[in-house]
A and B are shown apart, each in its own frame.
Chain A
């Protein structure tokens, strides 16, 4: 049993090692940047997968592009700009805060406040009626 678990664990080690062999990077920092970018960016073909998971041809090409950009030492912002310039905000799993996404980002808070306000008002009115 122990050997089996060890074998499974080792297979994971092998997998990550081979991933690094495809995209060798100079520093752990760049590696971390590369991986978090791949998880933040959407595969346009299979839309609910990120670039790290997808096997689509376009995802592979984009992975290569992002790898090269990371290797050149580009910042997160520069690389995300590169992606959205071509594919729009849809490529980002997390929509940016913009005028058209204000409702999306702040809507829940707004509705919470509104709900609390209505709750408070209706409770107060009831209480008022009972007091009378």
Chain B
């Protein structure tokens, strides 16, 4: 019996290996884990889009659960999530925008044609704040708790399904713990 088990060892190892490979096939290499989860927002002071005398800083995101959405008018897939973001704003979700390496006029025009769900938008003209946030492409959406800590990051177009699956449970948990 012991000899048989030993003889079958390679087969078992092979099956485990196949299991790993099979699992890896379904992973999307473009989906990167964020290194910033559980960390506070980086320090930033950005001019507010449309009103550069006003400033948006990380402190503005304290005190309330909010989401921070990285977008740009040159980003074609950002259009796809705009309707859903408008819906979120209507149901009372606080959304801050980070306008990523954009032309100011283009950004303002884009908002007037697609709608503006944002409470305030910071203009990240040179993309430095985006780098500090670990952004690797627009759109990206961060979930920020009331202490200004990054709780979740979603890279890609935000949809109702993703919101329900990834954001809602975390928001409920945060509210429950208050």
Contacts and interface: CB of A to CB of B under 8 A. Distances in A.
Interface stretch (B46-54, B107-115, B133-141): B133-141
B32 A44 contact: yes
A61 interface: yes
Chain B interface residue count: which class? 10 to 19
Chain A interface residue count: which class? 10 to 19
Interface stretch (B33-41, B77-85, B91-99): B33-41
Nearest to B136: A44
Nearest to A85: B35
Contacts of B166: none
26 contacts: A44-B32, A44-B137, A45-B136, A57-B101, A58-B127, A58-B137, A61-B126, A61-B127, A61-B128, A61-B131, A62-B131, A65-B128, A65-B131, A84-B35, A85-B35, A86-B35, A86-B36, A86-B131, A86-B134, A87-B32, A87-B134, A88-B32, A88-B33, A88-B35, A88-B134, A90-B33
Interface of B: 29-30, 32-36, 101, 126-128, 131-134, 136-137
Interface of A: 44-45, 47, 57-58, 61-62, 65, 84-88, 90
Ranked nearest first, the 6 interchain pairs of A and B with the lowest CB-CB distance are A88-B35, A44-B136, A86-B134, A61-B127, A87-B134, A90-B32
